[in-house]
Amino acid sequence: MELQGRHLIDPNDLTLEEIQTIIDLGLKIYNNPTNYAELCKGKILGTLFYEPSTRTRLSFESAMLRMGGSILGFSDASTSSVKKGETVADTIRVMDDYADILVMRHPREGAPKLASQFSTVPIINGGDGGHQHPTQTLTDLITIQYYKNEINNLKVAFCGDLLFGRTVHSLLKTLSRYPNMSFILISPPELKIPYHLRDEILQNHNVEIIETHCLETYMPEIDILYMTRIQKERFFNEEDYVKLKDSYILNREKLQSAKEDMLVLHPLPRVNEISYDVDQDPRGKYFDQAKLGVYVRMALMALLLGVVESC
Amino acid sequence: MELQGRHLIDPNDLTLEEIQTIIDLGLKIYNNPTNYAELCKGKILGTLFYEPSTRTRLSFESAMLRMGGSILGFSDASTSSVKKGETVADTIRVMDDYADILVMRHPREGAPKLASQFSTVPIINGGDGGHQHPTQTLTDLITIQYYKNEINNLKVAFCGDLLFGRTVHSLLKTLSRYPNMSFILISPPELKIPYHLRDEILQNHNVEIIETHCLETYMPEIDILYMTRIQKERFFNEEDYVKLKDSYILNREKLQSAKEDMLVLHPLPRVNEISYDVDQDPRGKYFDQAKLGVYVRMALMALLLGVVESC
Amino acid sequence: MELQGRHLIDPNDLTLEEIQTIIDLGLKIYNNPTNYAELCKGKILGTLFYEPSTRTRLSFESAMLRMGGSILGFSDASTSSVKKGETVADTIRVMDDYADILVMRHPREGAPKLASQFSTVPIINGGDGGHQHPTQTLTDLITIQYYKNEINNLKVAFCGDLLFGRTVHSLLKTLSRYPNMSFILISPPELKIPYHLRDEILQNHNVEIIETHCLETYMPEIDILYMTRIQKERFFNEEDYVKLKDSYILNREKLQSAKEDMLVLHPLPRVNEISYDVDQDPRGKYFDQAKLGVYVRMALMALLLGVVESC
């Protein structure tokens, strides 16, 4: 398997074929988990969380345990040797003896990349600063695949904080590599997608982008609505925030004009940008998305570890 | 098994027959642990500790590991998504994908109850504020069963802080459901059992209650002496504390007038309310109690998971 | 096996024959790990870290997981019952029900010794204050055995902080029990080995000691160079520190006069006392040392647990 022994730092490390391999295996495991319950027996996942992230860490840990493997690690840099001034490179050269695969979350951009240059075992980037979070992107993609059958010819709207949102940037860049995609970028002017990213996507790919500040206008056309959290502190003044905050709360009323089979996704945690009344709407798939995230991580780790011959 | 898929939030969630089922299975496992060493193979316990409690957490973790299952979770809310403002309901809807059974400790009363309304897997209350701690009660009950053979016709004394002690309230309410029980409540006046609880027990059940401030008076009659810690800060003035503190320290001398087969129990941690010289007395069973607590938790989880056909 | 059920608090608890038994088993596991992958199935390691030490904790956890066992514990006293005022003795009497073997790191000298007096399961000292760290010594010894084939007739240099370094004291005392050893102690005058330790070694053993402040003088004679970190705050004045700090940084240039088969060891974490250019030199064995540390801990735990009949 060509993925064996590789690292995953950036979604761009993977070809679309490789992504498809991971997604397909993830869905196979999802449909028949007992077949894979011993796949990683004797394997150890090391979780190196230099900043806390319960959800990402536990998703990986659950994925490894559900394949019969074991877990060790730390969930907080304050209890790690980093306090004694050790470099990431040195930590990795020890940790790769303790575990067979490592997932690293780090507040500094590029730390997992650096780690991968010193590790003898696969390193997965579990989020580095505002930079990349490739397994969130894989989670988003497996969810789209599961509900839409293929990732092709879709109108995907991103709503909320498009300026700082690492998740949005990663997914947007990756989706723009797929055929026939168009994007609706919904945000207040203060939180628009960075120019360089928009230009990168537009120049390199045959995609369509619409930028708007209004959530409702394009609702009837959207296939996938990807919501993100807007943080009050990102606004320049209180007045702007008060004016805008309600426009970006998705509720059941606003969903009335949407397609029957639109998907509402969210990387979670949700604060108040999706009302609780959407939870009962069949279009709200954000919790299913979190669940599928476990399976895509199972597939990813199994492939990087080389414990499956083929998918 | 009728316990499969259920939650345990409050000891009152269980009938006396159900409690007996759990205790009987716990003792069977205690007597022959190797028979049950693979009972939970492939199952994952998630420990959601929004406030630290090493003893309770590790007791559950040991219980799951000793049945061949796995564990994941967090031991401190400061490393969890709660910091980002996520509700308990949302956290549970993700966590129930990561684990097959969850134990939750939370500083807020009612949080585990709320969690159980959103969870697709069994939730066990591992202590919520000053409210309930049902597996401590099960631990107390299995210990009484083990040493007294049945929970019937016993004179049980509770000594120490009866006003704030969650453990005492839970056990007292549960024991009052058993036949022919009588209770001696020993505390300083400032730390008497709350009226409403006393009245609830007296009105609903055919039990006898004696309230006293003296540890020694009834010593010769007691079958089970349940000690708790008295915290200095609970007293209204230093003088009262100094006056009383020594009366509630159990030592070997005070045990001289007690029955040969009286049990001394304590939920632990003990600070100084039981002298170390009692540790060597065969009546001191508080460490055996902690040990039996692992087995009753094994039984409880096995039954909630439905991995045993019958006990 | 005579090691079954024993504690390891101080390297002196072990005879040289017992150390050899542990090392030999460690190397057997290293050479054929799959033979031992189920050795500790059903066994639980409890990690009681009253102060953080990621490296030591994870090395033990990896060792237990690689033998098919399980792990539980705490990595920080702030989340343990110690906060409620419980004594180490009481904590141990509960923890020994939760696990089959315990490793304890504690800031207070003697705490693991005390714990061992109350525990019904083996206790391993994972470091107590500035006192002992016996599994680091075993790690150092297995590395010397691996690369030198026997621990005999070696010239071992220790360089850096010889006054406060627990690791150095432990290893030096243990090596001085082996035949035909000589030691070169390289440090600034402020950080010389304590008199009592030097005298103890010189009086009790037929060993040779040279004390010097110069790293280069004896370089050509050294078989093993054990580097340690010099902490700026240990110096009496800035001037002395600036003067000395560079003399104790090992780099490739200084290695030119050394034997081809000299070993450079370091307990890690390294800060800057070994330049990164030494990492590529075949003599730099500090990361191999960390790796071998996992295997010697596997052997130690297997023997204390009595799960191997003979080595």
Q: How far apart are CA B128 and CA B101, in angstroms?
A: 17
Give residue A272's pLDDT band: very low, low, confident or very high (50, 70, 90). confident
What pLDDT shows up at residue A311?
A: 44
Provide the angle, in degrees to the nearest 10, between the axes of the packed helices A286-305 and A134-148.
110
Instruction: Choose the closest CB to B294 out of C83, C91, C97.
Output: C97
Q: Per-residue pLDDT for B280 more than 90?
A: yes
- What number of other Cβ atoms are within 10 A of residue A288's Cβ? 15
CB A91 within 8 A of CB A48: yes
Question: What is the per-residue pLDDT for C132?
Answer: 87
* Mean local confidence (pLDDT), A245-273: 92
C285 secondary structure, DSSP code: -
Task: Clarify whether B266 is annotated catalytic.
Answer: no
A-chain residues near B79 (CB < 8 A): 52, 54, 75-76
Torsions phi, psi of B228, nearest 5?
A: -135, 165
Residue A247 neighbours by CB distance under 10 Å? 15
State the average pLDDT over residues C298-304. 98
Residues of C in contact with B271 (CB under 8 A): 84-86
Is pLDDT above 80 for C241? no
Q: How far apart are CA A256 and CA B125, in angstroms?
A: 39
- Report the interhelical angle of B195-204 vs B166-175 (nearest 10°): 10
Contact between residue B120 and residue B96 where contact means Cβ atoms under 8 Å apart:
yes
Choose the mutation target among B62, B74, B79 for the interface with C, i.e. most C CBs under 10 Å. Answer: B62
> Peptide bond preceding C269: is omega within 30 degrees of 0, i.e. cis?
yes
* pLDDT range class, residue B79, cuts 50, 70, 90: low
Domain spanning B11-132+293-305 has what CATH number? 3.40.50.1370
Cis peptide leading into B52, omega within 30 of 0? no
* Distance (Å) of CA C162 to CA A237, B271, C55, C211, C288: 59, 40, 22, 11, 23
The interaxial angle of helices A286-305 and A54-66, nearest 10 deg, is 60
CA-based nearest distance C294→chain A, Å: 8
Query: Helix or strand or coil: residue C72?
Result: strand
Average of pLDDT values for B38-55?
95
* Interchain proximity B71–C73, CB inside 8 Å: no
Tokens standing for residue B106: 């939370």
Structure-token match 């058993």, residue found = B178
CA-nearest of A38, A72, A301 to C294 is A72
Q: For residue A55, give the nearest of B42, B46, B81 by CB distance.
A: B81
Report the share of chain A in percent with pLDDT over 70: 95
Amino acid at B199: D
Specify the amino acid at residue A267: P
Interface confidence, given as ipTM, is 0.94
Give the burial class of B149: count Cβ atoms within 10 A of its Cβ; 0-12 exposed, 13-18 middle, 19 or more buried. Answer: exposed
What whole-number distance in Å separates Cα of residue A123 and Cα of residue A92? 10
**Active-site residue C56, yes or no?**
yes
In this structure, the dihedral spanned by the alpha carbons of residues A30, A34, A36 and A37, taken in order and rounded to 10 degrees, is 120
Element housing C153 (H / E): none
Averaged pLDDT of chain C: 92
Q: Where in chain B is the domain with CATH 3.40.50.1370?
A: 11-132+293-305, 135-290
- For B30-46, what is the mean pLDDT? 97
In B, which residues are within 8 Å of A52 by CB distance?
A: 78-80, 83
Find out whether C155 and C223 touch, Cβ atoms under 8 Å: yes
Predicted pLDDT of residue A91? 94
Q: Which residues of A touch C43 (CB under 8 A)?
A: none
Per-residue burial over A200-229, b if 16 or more Cβ lie within 10 Å, else e, is ebeeebebebeeebebeebbeebbbbbbbb
CB A151 within 8 A of CB A142: no
| pLDDT of the residue at B238 | 79
**What pLDDT digit, counting tens, does each position of C78-108 carry?**
655 556 678 999 999 999 999 999 999 999 9
C-chain residue closest to A84, CA distance: C269
Provide the residue count of chain B. 311
| A269 is known to lie in a ligand binding site | yes
- CA dist., res. B154 & res. B181, Å (int): 5
Residue A196 known to be catalytic: no
Q: How far apart are CA C236 and CA C191, in angstroms?
A: 10
With both helix axes pointing from N to C terminus, report the angle between C54-65 and A88-98 in degrees, rounded to the nearest 10: 20
CB contact under 8 A, C90 and B66: no
What residues form DSSP beta bridges with B49? B105
B98–A54 CB contact, under 8 Å: no
Q: Which residues pair with A229 in a beta bridge?
A: none
Chain A: residue nearest B47 by CA?
Answer: A58
Does residue C92 or residue C238 have the better pLDDT? C92
- Residue contact A52–B78, C-beta within 8 A: yes
How much is the average pLDDT of A106-117? 95
On the question of pLDDT at C311 being above 50, the answer is no
Considering the candidates C43, C57, C133, C270, report the single residue annotated as catalytic: C133
What confidence tens digit (pLDDT) does each residue in B227-263 have? 998 777 666 777 877 777 777 899 999 999 999 999 9
Look at residues A232, A113, A228 and name the one whose alpha carbon lies nearest to residue A167. Answer: A228
Given its phi and psi angles, is residue A208 left (phi above 0), alpha (psi -120 to 50 degrees) or beta? beta
In sequence order, which ranges of B149-269 are alpha helices (DSSP H)?
166-175, 195-204, 238-245, 252-255
pLDDT band at A86 (very low <50, low <70, confident <90, very high): confident
For residues A107-130, give the mean pLDDT.
94
A290 touches chain B (CB under 8 A): yes
Query: Are residues B210 and B183 in contact, defined by beta-carbon separation less than 8 angstroms?
Result: yes
Kindly state whether B78 is in contact with chain C, defined as any CB-CB distance less than 8 angstroms.
no
Is A287 touching B (CB cutoff 8 A)? Answer: yes
Chains A, B: CB pairs < 8 Å: 61
Q: Cα angle vertex A292, ends A291, A296, to 5°?
A: 130
CB contacts of B52 in chain C (<8 Å) are 78-80, 83
Residues of chain A neighbouring B73 (CB-CB closer than 8 A): 58
* Annotated binding residue C56: yes
The CA distance from B160 to B168, in Å, is 10
Select from C270, C272, C249, C285 the least CA-distant residue to C159: C249
Three-state SS at C264: strand
Say which CATH superfamily domain A135-290 falls into.
Aspartate/ornithine carbamoyltransferase (3.40.50.1370)
Cα A80 from chain centroid (whole Å): 26
What is the DSSP track for B56-88? Answer: HHHHHHHHHHTTT-EEEEES-GGGSGGGGT--H
C206's CB contacts (< 8 A; 6+ apart) are none
Q: Do residue A99 and residue C62 have CB atoms under 8 angstroms apart?
A: yes
The Cα A117–Cα A90 span in angstroms is: 11
Amino acid identity of C99?
A
Q: Tell me if C252 is assigned to a ligand binding site.
A: no
Please name the helix (run of DSSP H) or strand (run of DSSP E) that holds residue C185, with its range, or none: strand C182-186
Q: Sorting pLDDT into bands at 50, 70 and 90, what band is C229?
A: confident
Q: A38 to chain B: nearest residue by CA?
A: B42
3-state secondary structure of B274: strand
> Which of C295, C310, C287 lies closest to C37, judged by CA?
C295
At residue A248, does pLDDT exceed 70?
yes
d(CA B235, CA B232): 6
Read off the pLDDT of each residue in B193-199 and give the average, rounded to a whole number.
Answer: 92
CA distance B228 to B269: 9
Give the tens place of pLDDT for each residue, B140-168. Answer: 999 999 999 999 999 999 999 899 888 99
Range list for CATH 3.40.50.1370 in chain A: 11-132+291-305, 135-290
Residue of C6, C66, C105, C266 marked catalytic: C105
The pLDDT value recorded for residue B311 is 44
Q: In what order do the strands lie in the sheet with A155-159?
A: A208-212, A182-186, A155-159, A224-227, A263-265
Contact assessment for residue A118 and residue A93, using Cβ atoms and an 8 Å cutoff: yes
Question: Mean pLDDT over residues C41-54, rounded?
Answer: 94
How many Å apart are CA B295 and CA B167, to the nearest integer?
Answer: 19
Q: Which of A34, A79, A84, A196 is catalytic?
A: A84
Angstrom distance (rounded) from CA A152 to CA A149 = 9
- Provide mean pLDDT across the span B36-52: 96
Any chains having at least 3 CB pairs less than 8 A from chain A are B, C
Considering chain B, what is the average pLDDT of its residues? Answer: 92
Residue A130 in tokens: 């505002």
Q: How confident is the model at residue B84 (pLDDT cuts 50, 70, 90)?
A: low
Structural contact between residues B5 and B303, judged by C-beta atoms closer than 8 angstroms: no
Exposed, middle or buried: residue C246 (CB in 10 Å: 0-12, 13-18, 19+)? exposed
Q: Give residue for tokens 């030096």.
A: C172
Catalytic annotation, pick one of A21, A47, A56, A135: A56
Q: What is the topology classification, in CATH, of domain A11-132+291-305? A: Rossmann fold (3.40.50)
Our CA-based measurement puts residue C303 at a distance from the nearest CA of chain B, in whole angstroms, of 21
Between A52-61, A239-248, B189-198, C51-60, the lowest mean confidence (pLDDT) is in A239-248
For residue range C132-155, list pLDDT tens digits in order.
Answer: 899 999 999 999 999 999 999 999
Residue A302 to residue A282: CA distance in whole angstroms: 32
Span A147-173, pLDDT tens digits: 999 999 999 999 998 998 889 999 999
Helix (H) or strand (E) holding C212: strand C208-212
Indicate the residue of B73, B85, B99 with minimum beta-carbon distance to A271.
Answer: B85
Strands (E) located in A181-221:
182-186, 208-212
Residue among C53, C61, C76 minimizing CB distance to A72: C61
Question: Which chain B residues are Cβ-neighbours of C70 within 8 angstroms?
Answer: 65, 70
Q: Which pLDDT value is given to residue A190? A: 83
Annotated binding site of B for carbamoyl phosphate: 55-56, 105, 133, 136, 268-269
